[in-house]
């Protein structure tokens, strides 16, 4: 993997040699960024935002294209994430392209991963890297579809692989089985240099929207089980796969965190509010009234469980709290499906900040 983490350092050393260490403050900024918790902070108004013009990016799915489908307010686009203890480097699309030259970036997860991946494509588009969709092929199961987008001039491929649970769903005689101990898409994942995983949205779905009939775990098939426990077991299978199959010297792995929904106003102290339709500004401050969701606690317990000295390091893109504060960032009714959507995010919008944080993580 050709990630040049310290591209500026050659320049910094040169300046130090010529002018007696003008580099000190620059080096200090690297140290500051490395030590800083970039996920603790608040949203601040910034007239220079958004980072791209959604009308000039054809990659955006209609469900996320809020302005195209009539959202009248634009103030939600004008907020920047400000960590408490440091300043983020501004997202530099040209620098990102240079660092990622020749690399394969893959988003693996549900439709929130698609939200995330399309944001990155649009951010890079602004730097004159036109995205060409070169293929869209069905995966191993009806639930898996992979779209590969190539930025030819830079040798970069961005893949978005739809996998609702990360673990497998297989059709058998008795029906569709969610197999909590099985991953068969791993060979596709291993093609990437940078992997960004996500799963959560589908774990509590029931009825017609549930894409499986039975759960199999530890050799037993059951009709259902505690969904949070199923989530934990599925994540554990994924983490064990990563530990056994990925090489940290070749692959950088991130987990996106838990993307929040905003259908219950009591979560943000707005009693009686049932959706995000009238929300136009972020919550002030750094904390969310409802607190950290249980799913995030389960995710952290799996990620930070060290099974051996060869455990694959996975960086958590801890986007949950900062996204919880953005009750104003969803499409609501302004989408091509016509329904109320307080689950996904407008583009341009909050996923651009997720990618800004991804860029920062790659820098440090």
H-run or E-run covering 134: strand 132-138
What does the pLDDT read at residue 12?
Answer: 36
Q: What global pTM score does this model have?
A: 0.89
Q: How far apart are CA 157 and CA 150, in angstroms?
A: 4
Q: Is 45 in contact with 74 (CB distance < 8 Å)?
A: no
| Residue 296, pLDDT score | 98
Q: Judge residue 24's burial from the number of C-beta atoms within 10 Å of its C-beta, 0-12 exposed, 13-18 middle, 19 or more buried.
A: exposed
CA-to-CA separations, 316 to 16, 101, 150, 221, 304, in angstroms, rounded = 35, 23, 26, 32, 10
Mean pLDDT in each 10-residue stretch from start to end of the chain (364 residues)? Answer: 42 35 45 88 97 93 97 98 95 94 96 97 84 51 72 90 95 97 94 97 96 97 98 98 95 97 98 97 97 98 80 95 98 96 98 98 91
As given in the structure block, the two tokens for residue 60 are 């955006």
Alpha carbon distance 62, 334 (integer Å): 9
Write out the two tokens for 302: 């799996």
* The pLDDT value given to residue 308: 64
Structure confidence at residue 134 (pLDDT): 53
Picking from 52, 42, 140, the residue whose alpha carbon sits closest to that of residue 82 is 42
The reported pLDDT for the residue numbered 299 is 98
């Amino acid at each position: 993997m050709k990630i040049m983490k310290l591209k500026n350092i050659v320049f910094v050393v040169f300046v130090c040699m010529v002018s007696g260490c003008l580099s000190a403050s620059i080096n200090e900024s690297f140290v500051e960024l490395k030590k800083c918790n970039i996920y603790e902070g608040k949203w601040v108004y910034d007239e220079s935002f958004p980072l791209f013009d959604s009308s000039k990016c054809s990659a955006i799915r209609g469900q996320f294209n809020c302005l195209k489908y009539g959202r009248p307010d634009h103030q939600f686009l004008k907020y920047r994430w400000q960590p408490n203890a440091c300043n983020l480097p501004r997202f530099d699309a040209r620098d990102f392209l240079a660092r990622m030259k020749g690399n394969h970036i893959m988003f693996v997860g549900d439709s929130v991963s698609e939200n995330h991946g399309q944001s990155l494509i649009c951010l890079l588009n602004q730097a004159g890297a036109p995205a060409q969709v070169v293929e869209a092929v069905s995966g191993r199961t009806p639930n898996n579809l992979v779209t590969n987008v190539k930025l030819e001039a830079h040798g970069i491929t961005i893949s978005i692989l739809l996998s609702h649970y990360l673990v497998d769903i297989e059709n058998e005689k008795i029906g569709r089985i969610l197999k909590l101990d099985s991953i068969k898409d791993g060979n596709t994942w291993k093609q990437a240099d940078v992997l960004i995983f996500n799963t959560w949205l589908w774990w509590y779905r029931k009825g017609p929207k549930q894409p499986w009939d039975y759960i199999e775990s530890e050799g037993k098939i059951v009709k259902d089980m505690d969904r949070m426990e199923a989530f934990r077991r599925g994540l554990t299978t994924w983490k064990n796969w990563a530990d056994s199959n990925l090489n940290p010297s070749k692959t950088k792995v991130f987990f996106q965190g838990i993307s929040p929904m905003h259908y219950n106003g009591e979560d943000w102290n707005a009693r009686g509010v049932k959706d995000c339709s009238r929300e136009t500004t972020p919550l002030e401050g750094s904390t969310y009234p409802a607190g950290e969701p249980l799913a995030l606690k389960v995710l952290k317990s799996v990620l930070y469980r060290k099974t051996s000295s060869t455990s694959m390091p996975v960086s958590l893109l801890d986007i949950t709290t900062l996204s919880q504060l953005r009750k104003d960032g969803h499409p609501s009714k302004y989408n091509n499906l016509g329904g109320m959507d307080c689950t996904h995010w407008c583009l341009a919008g909050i996923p651009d900040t997720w990618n800004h944080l991804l860029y920062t993580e790659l820098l440090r």
